[in-house]
Structure 1
Amino acid sequence: MTETEIADIFRQFMWTAVWMGAPMIGAALVVGIVVGLFQALTSIQELTLTFAPKLLFMLLVFWLTAGHMAQLLANLFDNLVLPAIAGT
């Protein structure tokens, strides 16, 4: 296995990680902005008010996208890892 092949496999792993994490990060970003605006408008400065909704929405998004994430990992494994192990 050459350095180029290793770099390509690493690049594919990184892109898969980005695509798997993007929905949860996006949900946390949107909920954080909404809760921050709510706190600014009402002058409520409670720390748990920002944490709890983010956690709940991230768990919801994870639950909704878990099948897609599993499919991404299965495709990565079938198309990249198994051929690298087999040496083809």
Structure 2
Amino acid sequence: MDDTLFYDTLRQGLWVATLVSMPILSVALIAGLVVGLFQALTSIQEMTLTFVPKLAAIVGVFWITMGFMTETLVSYFQNTLIPIIAGG
């Protein structure tokens, strides 16, 4: 395996990881901002108030985007990694 193929495969893998993690991370960020704003406005400093809504939002988005994540990872594996493994 030459360096160009290695770095191109690594770049594609990092891009796939970014695409797969973006929905969950963006929802966690938005939920954290909303809960933080709510806590600042109401002066409620409860730890579970921060944790539970974020966890619920993350689980919900994971459940909704699970098909997209699986399809993206399987496509990357079948179209990129298996030909490299089989060819070398």
TM-score category (smaller protein): over 0.9
Alpha-carbon distance between aligned partners in 2 of 1:27 and 1:11, rounded to the nearest angstrom: 25
Alpha-carbon distance between aligned partners in 2 of 1:14 and 1:47, rounded to the nearest angstrom: 34
Moved runs in structure 1, 4+ residues, more than 2 A?
none
Say whether 1:6 aligns with 2:6. yes
Give the secondary-structure state (helix, strand or coil) at the position aligned to 1:44: coil
1:63-82 alignment to 2 at 5 Å? 63-82=63-82
- What do the CA deviations read for 1:13-55 (whole angstroms, capped 9, x no partner)? 1111111100000000010111011001100011111111101
Equivalence for 1:39: 39
Equivalence for 1:16: 16
Question: How does the TM-score come out when normalised to structure 1?
Answer: 0.95
Q: Once the 2 structures are TM-superposed, how far is the Cα of residue 87 of structure 1 from its aligned partner?
A: 1.3
Question: How does the TM-score come out when normalised to structure 2?
Answer: 0.95
Say whether 1:85 aligns with 2:82. no
Give unpaired runs (5+ residues) of structure 1: none
Taking only the aligned residue pairs, the percentage that are identical comes to: 50
Q: Once the 2 structures are TM-superposed, how far is the Cα of residue 86 of structure 1 from its aligned partner?
A: 1.6
